[in-house]
Amino acid sequence: MNQAVNQPPGSVQTVDYHTAGEPLRIVTGGLPLLEGETMLAKRRHMAEHHDHWRRLLMREPRGHADMYGAVLTEPVSDDGDTGVLFLHNEGYSTMCGHGIIALVHAGVEQGLFPIADPAEIRFDTPAGRVTAKAHFDKQGKVASASFRNVPSFILEPEFSVRLDGKTVDTTIAFGGAFYAYVDARPHQLSLVPDEAQRIIELGRRIKQKVAMHCDIIHPDGGEDLDFLYGTIFYLPGAGRLEQKNVCVFADGQLDRSPTGTGVSGWSAIRCLRGEVELGEQLTIESIIGTRFTCRCLEKTLVGGQSAVITEVAGSASRTGEHRFFLDPNDPLQQGFNLR
């Protein structure tokens, strides 16, 4: 799946998309076969044996501090269309909503993997099965995509930490990864682009503090899921079903999109609190004004804990195609990040 034909030694081929402004660099060839019978095992194998490719593709001079990527693999389930791993500046995600939306567009448009039914594209991810749908316009082109996520739930309804002598109140929830959700208003944040650096700095500090003091344990998953992925600041929108979210994840990456797994976790919070009903559609805006929609479709249980199945929708666009080379004489083979 991720091994190109006639690929020159030391080179990797990609096609790049963006979803609501957030990049996705999809590896289409050049990587060795990733071993493992589960997606978490494949994730560990790449991290342990081929992480230099992640660093080369995500970091400068070929990438940047906020680059994001995906590696397609053979599915690990009998009925899966493809497996997928997600990459960022620090390592590997467990699920990625903006990535799934871009992969639906790319999968259909570029034929990156076999798709039996574009209305039910089955992705095997480290967090579990995600089922997506391509929505077509009158010309037969992919206009948008939606996906049914892994179960989302609240881990800690109220979790507070002290930062600079002040109390920071959070809610910890899972939407494919764990996030600390923080009301932006007590921190005098409007969640606009001019505040990007302050958002990054505060988001990183809150994430570090919460991770130090909160036991992050998925009630029905492998231990590779048991970590805090990021901080999400939120502001209420004009109506009850509107909101603004800004996510700081990995090593200070600032999501340009509303964050697909993040809006899943937030929708679970709202639904399980009784603030929205099943089927009601939330509209979540990003720091740059782009939007995802999200609905809670049904309630379920995860390890005996209340959870919901969410459906997230958005659109993506192709931005380029690349062939990256690993020059054996390059002194910066592993890349670098400058914020």
Would you please indicate which residues are annotated as catalytic (active-site) residues?
Answer: 96
Pairing of β 242-249 and β 281-285: parallel
Give 86-141 as a DSSP string.
EE-SSSEES--HHHHHHHHHHHHHH--S--S-TTSEEEEETTEEEEEEEEE-TTS-
CA distances from 317 to 101, 183, 303 (A): 10, 31, 37
**Upstream peptide bond of 61 is cis (omega within 30 degrees of 0):** yes
Q: Where are the beta strands (DSSP E) in 8-93?
A: 11-19, 22-29, 69-73, 82-87, 92-93
91 burial type by CB count under 10 A (0-12 exposed, 13-18 middle, 19+ buried): middle
CA distances from 23 to 17, 79, 118, 147, 214 (A): 6, 28, 23, 18, 31
If DSSP states are collapsed to H, E and C, what string results for 131-193?
A: EEEEEECCCCCEEEEEEECCCEEEEEEEEEEEECCEEEEEEEEECCCEEEEEECHHHCCCCCH
Q: Look up residue 137 and give its two tokens.
A: 């316009």
